[in-house]
Structure 1
Amino acid sequence: MGAEAALVAIGANLPRAEGGGPLETCRWAVARLAALPGMRVVAVSSWWESAPIPPDPAAPPFVNGVALLEGETDPEALLAALHEIEDEAGRQRPYPNAPRVLDLDLIDLGGRVRRGPPPVLPHPRAHLRAFVLLPLAEVAPGWVHPTLGRGVQALVAALEPQEIRRFEST
């Protein structure tokens, strides 16, 4: 198996038990991604602040970014590693789309298309989310959605309006 590019979306909107806010947690997650065996972080987007989707007025805004990794891995192993990092951060899953300490989503792995078992590739909702596509465009401007055949810029242009703003470079 040769080296493949992996796009990992990073998000958080709750502090970790150890302290620090969502931005610090996202930066911590990048360091944990960089420590994955056989993988290396090639690029990290700016950090973006976005409203929760679906809207939840009681939930704080999310900090979001995307990391571009390269290396040798298989989808199941990478997904398991992402879940381990989430667990280490203290992620709880009380209900779908709940506020979270850390969310790591595998968006794409070498352009693979998988319907199952998990992970589904490409991520089934990535093309609908500004908080994925805007940072993804920074680290992989030439990315083409493997099943839609559309480039990231075309996907961004087709997005429904969403509350999002860039607030910090890496």
Structure 2
Amino acid sequence: MALIAIGANLPGYGGNTPIETCRAAAAALDGLCGLKLAVVSRWYETVPVPPVPGVPRYVNGVARLEGADMDPAALLAALQGLEERAGRQRPYPNAPRTLDLDIVAIGDMVRAAPDPVLPHPRAHLRRFVLEPLRDVAPGWVHPSLGVTVEALLAGLAAEEAPVPIGG
């Protein structure tokens, strides 16, 4: 099982809204690197982390992929290709983006190098990742911390909660 965080807060190519871009990215995950899209979370509207005045809110979700022989580097490269096709630019860290795809975890794999680091080094600290992750993998246990997604969420400081959205 691979857990992929999906997010956007800028219009994509052709004027797609962030949620349209996220939905298209989720659909594009099916078959990527031979993996099968099993389920996609609800979509959530979230504040930027770290908060930046004037930066639009994000749309965030998580997809669960199933398959065998997941090559982390190949999956990362394929995800970055999807980001690039959606117009992703990286002018500075945490810049607003047309699409952001991150590998949160691949099964119980733990690796410090080379990229991608697994599990994602900051996912356990981000409510905007953990809320949708809980939708697709309730009871998920962080591979290096040995803590459930529910316990991770309970341990986070109070902040503005992600809001489920439609549209």
In which range does the TM-score fall when normalised by the shorter chain?
over 0.9
Structure 2 matches for 1:138-149, cutoff 5 A? 138-149=135-146
In structure 1, which of residues 91, 116, 123 is the aligned counterpart of residue 113 of structure 2?
116
Q: Secondary structure at the match of 2:15?
A: coil
Deviation at 1:17, TM superposition (A): 2.2
Percent identical among aligned pairs is 59
- Distance in structure 2 (CA, Å) of the matches to 1:19 and 1:35: 26
| 1:97-154 Cα deviation digits (max 9, x unpaired) | 0000000000000110000100000000001001000000010002100111100000
Contact 1:45-1:169 within 8 A present in 2 as well? no
The TM-score with structure 1 as length reference comes to: 0.94
Structure 2 matches for 1:8-19, cutoff 5 A? 8-19=4-15
Q: Secondary structure at the match of 2:14?
A: coil
Q: Secondary structure at the match of 1:164?
A: coil
Q: Secondary structure at the match of 1:86?
A: helix
In structure 2, which of residues 31, 34, 38 is the aligned counterpart of residue 35 of structure 1?
31
Structure 2 counterpart of 1:64, one-letter code? N
Aligned match of 1:56: 52
Aligned match of 1:100: 97
Structure 1's unaligned 5+ residue stretches are none
Q: CA RMSD in A?
A: 1.3
| 1:45-102 Cα deviation digits (max 9, x unpaired) | 0000110011101210000000000113210010011100000101000000000000
Contact 1:89-1:102 within 8 A present in 2 as well? yes
Q: How many residues align?
A: 166
Structure 2's unaligned 5+ residue stretches are none
Q: Which runs of 4+ in 1 moved over 6 A?
A: none
Residue 143 of structure 2 corresponds to residue 168 of structure 1: no
Q: Secondary structure at the match of 2:150?
A: helix
Residue 66 of structure 2 corresponds to residue 70 of structure 1: yes
Contact 1:48-1:164 within 8 A present in 2 as well? no
Aligned match of 1:82: 79
Deviation at 1:169, TM superposition (A): 5.7
In structure 2, which of residues 11, 22, 25 is the aligned counterpart of residue 26 of structure 1?
22
